[in-house]
Chain A
Amino acid sequence: MGEVTKAKLEAIRNGELSAVENIRQALERISKLNPKINAFIEPNHNAISQAEAVDKKLNRGERVGKLAGLAIGIKSNINVKGLRATCASRTLEGYVATYNAEVIKRILREDGIIIGMTNMDEFACGSSGETSAFGVTDNPAAPGHIPGGSSSGSAAAVAAGMCDLSLGSDTAGSIRNPASHCGVVGVKPTYGLVPRQGLIDLAMSLDQIGPFAPDVYGVALLLEVIAGFNPNECVMLNVKGVSYADELEAELKGMRIGTSPKFRELTDPKIMEVIDSAIEKFHDFGAEIVEVELPHLEKGLPAYYLIMSVEFFSATRKFDGRKYGKRIEDVCGDEVMRRILRGQYISRKEYRGKYYQRALQVRTIIREELMAALEKVDVIVGPTVPKLPHKLGTSLTPMEMYAYDYLTAPTNLASICGGVIKAGEVDGIPVGLQVQGKMLGEGEMFRVLRAYEAVE
């Protein structure tokens, strides 16, 4: 297990598979499967010519980048010059990016090929992949069920083999939730590890771009390409030259792996069964399993929805109808509207102390709690989502929808990292194991993910 990405890269480097052929296959798969899955909003018509350039380098025996020839899907809230960054919204349906996001520059530098822009919940506001103005995305691993969100298309595209790797963004679980539902690997990096320049905001203090792949090697490789300090933006950690992919070890001896009784309280017992057996395996590999207390974990969710709404309200003020055609409030879907209005309401001067400030206080409590737990253990493992994905078209109340984020939002509130790998299935539906690591604890996190992958 876990050799898909590596094998593909080697085949391209050896000349067994040309980059052009790889891209052509991906595009064919997209045109065949996309009408049903709807993972892509638009393919990149220049992908073939970019692949030709990579092949030329290979044929001449020149050095090629780490991602040479791989087809990479990009969430539609990341600017790729010349392609539409719609955020799956009518507001930006005609917005063609005029510049490359920093992560895109880094991917192109490593000879990765942008295969297209993926579908998502509108402005990343959703946990199901159903709020896109370009239609819902189906779950290739459990057809007829939601793929999860908001990076629905990026997860579904990898799950369906429409691309080799993809980028999503995660504000409260938007990478990990669809990774869990679609049975792929997804990582939300430590806040400040990956440049956000070029990522269209949901909530600036929580957003982080991260990778999807069919295997741990794939996410580790894509993360090391996009991670690291960017002098042209402010809120970044001073980290340079990370490497993960070549240092993947499956060795768990001596590692302390945390788990919390809190997870069981909040999660569907059928999901917990799968998670429990995964944890048993860690024990068998020689890791020490340690219980940690996370008494306020569930309070992270309401705090998140308040903080996010205020930041989202601020971030969307530029969509005033003057520059991008349509004023956001005039054309957006219900969930986007709900968040804008909530943010507008609670950021009022007279309510400052009442909602936003208190939510920030709760955020501090959650952060301290997780930090304290991660003093005792190397990683915390548990379920990713508390419930199984619903069937497409089922009507949920906002609170039912928000409940998907109980276990993922605290990671973002604490600015730490979290990765997801398929742990098993319930009734044929994938269930993801979530591994949360310390700030910049990506190394340990990958080790645990890889150890699990290696035995499966």
Chain B
Amino acid sequence: MKMLIGFEVHQQLTTERKMYCDCPTNYQDVKPNSNVCPICTGMPGSKPMPPNERAVNAAIEIALLFGCEVITDKPIYIQRKHYDYPDLPSGYQRTSLPIGLNGELQGVRIREVHMEEDPGQYDPTLGTVDYNRSGVPLVEIVTEPDMHSPEEARRFLRQLVRVLEYSGKVRPEAGGAMRTDTNISLEGGGRVEVKNINSVKGAYRAIKFEIVRQKSKLERGEPVTRETRAFLESQKITVSMRVKELEEDYRYIPDPDIFPLIIDNARVEAIRASMVEPPYLREQRLVEQYGIEPAAASVIVSERELADLFEVVAEEIDPKLAAIWFRTKLKKVLNYMKLRAADVRFTPKQIVGLLRMVDKGEITPEQGELVLRELVKRPSDPRRLLQKLGLKRLRPAELRAAVAKVIRANPGAVKDYLAGKEEALHFLAGKVIKLTHGRADPRKIVELLRAKIVGEK
């Protein structure tokens, strides 16, 4: 069955000041209603300040990252979108006409990029409103309904989030900073918009639920009505909010208190010249420039700081080795510690030092991983860490002695191995590893064990 899926994604921009006043935007770190002024609380008679230039620049950059054409030399009106809700201090939200149009990402057309302001936060249980968030600038990205399965939608949304995070212009996806509306329609049914989605996972689940719901309706011969639904994260279902006929009329008017934005070409070009390389382009470049695997490149560009680090390291040592380490070991350690590449405190020189030791066979990859873990926790010179962890590689004589000792102590296992039981060798190897506190290369241990047992026979 043919299906069409599209998104409207909202994310907060990382400016220090709000969109139309000078209040700070760190609303999560401060007491309720402390980052407020007459403007962002909509006090009678207050007037917006001129729009935050940094926020506008960020929106332009995001539009460019999605390959949009930025609207230049034409007035971009800031509109008032009227609706009645306790978190909205003036009874309308300010939302711009498109800043960018006609972009594309992973084959999905981006219809437009525009700006909005965040409302306050309403607590229905307490009946209170915290206006700290009110007026924080948002960017909204609207796609065409170009996705045709929940999996495709999820892939796209992940990529979109990655580009946004990459830009460094949006707040990381935390504390509900990303909000997505999804529209889903099946052939023969009305378009359904699902609101209240806060994550990629949530979007995937909501779409899956909707497809099942709409499909079964259509199969029963019932119409799928055009409506707006809300996603309930806890139950993973959607419920009806309002049908099309009752849809709110926002009575848009250009805000008479704000001159429209006019963006000139020089400004766009200046932003283009200094903006980050979007991850999908960087991924291609890493593959071509360093000759690494596409899969590794994909992992490396997943975080901008990870890719930045990689490129510094790849100048010093074999990029292919670095790529394998970044893709498997470093990413694994960071994930395990719930860290992002941006949190990494060790220097490029330190990780280069570590990889050199591995490259020269001074330590085993396993030992290297232990050092890496320590490096992430307490950055220091890798050689010092090696010593601290007691991981200096064994001298060959020490290893040979340990192997001999284990063989002597486990005649049963030796016999089993000689009888053809390969697992017995692994058992013995385990004993050696234990005896040597993991300071020897397991491959070398197995080799020595085999040679010794077979040689003694």
Contact = CB atoms under 8 A, between A and B. Distances in A.
Contact of A85 (B45, B92, B256): B45
Interface residues of A, number: 41
Contacts of B46: 99, 197-198
Contacts of A197: 45-47
Nearest to B258: A234
Interface stretch (A55-63, A281-289, A314-322): A314-322
A318 B90 contact: yes
A199 interface: yes
A235 interface: yes
A196 interface: yes
Most central of B82, B89, B92, B256 by chain A CB within 10 Å: B256
Nearest to B41: A323
A412 B90 CA distance: 25
Contacts of A204: 256-257
A196 B38 CA distance: 14
Contact of A233 (B44, B49, B251, B253): B49
Contacts of B258: 234-235
A25 to B, nearest CB: 30
B86 interface: yes
B50 to A, nearest CB: 5
A233 B45 contact: no
B91 interface: yes
A205 interface: yes
A231 B84 CA distance: 31
B91 A233 contact: no
Contact of A317 (B43, B51, B92, B257): B92
A233 B256 contact: no
B264 to A, nearest CB: 18
B44 A310 contact: no
Interface in B18-73: 38, 42-51
B80 to A, nearest CB: 6
A347 B253 contact: yes
Contacts of A79: 43-45
B135 to A, nearest CB: 14
Contacts of A313: 251
A234 B257 contact: yes
Interface in B74-89: 80, 82, 84, 86, 89
A314 B92 contact: yes
A323 B249 contact: no
A155 to B, nearest CB: 21
B153 to A, nearest CB: 30
Most central of B45, B51, B80, B90 by chain A CB within 10 Å: B45
B45 A234 contact: no
Nearest to B21: A232
Given A314-B92, A348-B251, A78 B44 contact: no
A79 B92 CA distance: 22
Interface string B339-382: 00000000000000000000000000000000000000000000
Contacts, number: 87
B38 A349 contact: no
A193 interface: no
Given A79-B45, A99-B43, A314 B89 contact: no
A234 B253 contact: no
Contacts of A78: 45
Contacts of A92: 44
Given A98-B38, A204-B256, A314-B92, A234 B251 contact: no
Contacts of B90: 317-318
A231 B49 CA distance: 8
A95 B44 contact: yes
**Chain B interface secondary structure, helix, strand, loop or mixed?**
loop
A171 to B, nearest CB: 12
A311 interface: yes
Contacts of B256: 203-205, 235, 311
Given A98-B38, A232-B49, A314 B253 contact: yes
A311 B447 CA distance: 85
A324 B51 CA distance: 27
B259 interface: yes
A403 to B, nearest CB: 25
Given A322-B86, A347-B251, A349-B249, A235 B44 contact: no
Nearest to A92: B44
Contacts of B86: 322
A77 B45 CA distance: 8
A58 to B, nearest CB: 32
A233 B80 contact: no
Interface string A192-219: 0000111111011100000000000000
Contacts of A196: 47, 257
Most central of B38, B44, B84, B89 by chain A CB within 10 Å: B44
Contacts of A244: none
A304 interface: no
Interface in A48-99: 77-79, 85, 87, 92, 95, 97-99
A356 interface: yes
A101 interface: yes
Contacts of B38: 98-99
Nearest to B247: A349
Contacts of A320: 84, 91
A220 B91 CA distance: 38
B44 A317 contact: no
A317 B82 contact: yes
A200 B47 CA distance: 9
A318 B257 contact: no
Interface in B240-273: 249, 251, 253, 256-259
Nearest to A78: B45
A324 B89 CA distance: 11
Contacts of A85: 44-45
Nearest to A317: B91
Interface in A86-132: 87, 92, 95, 97-99, 101
A347 B82 CA distance: 11
Nearest to B250: A349
Contacts of A231: 50
B42 A318 contact: yes
Given A234-B259, A317-B84, A348 B89 contact: no
Interface string B86-114: 10011110000000000000000000000
A267 B43 CA distance: 41
A200 B38 CA distance: 12
Nearest to A324: B44
A425 to B, nearest CB: 37
12 contacts: A79-B43, A87-B44, A197-B46, A198-B45, A198-B46, A199-B45, A231-B50, A233-B257, A234-B259, A310-B253, A311-B256, A316-B91
Interface of A: 77-79, 85, 87, 92, 95, 97-99, 101, 196-201, 203-205, 231-235, 310-311, 313-314, 316-318, 320, 322-324, 344, 347-349, 356
Given A197-B46, A235-B256, A318-B42, 15 more contacts: A99-B38, A198-B47, A200-B45, A231-B50, A234-B257, A234-B259, A310-B253, A311-B253, A311-B256, A314-B80, A314-B92, A314-B253, A317-B90, A322-B86, A347-B251
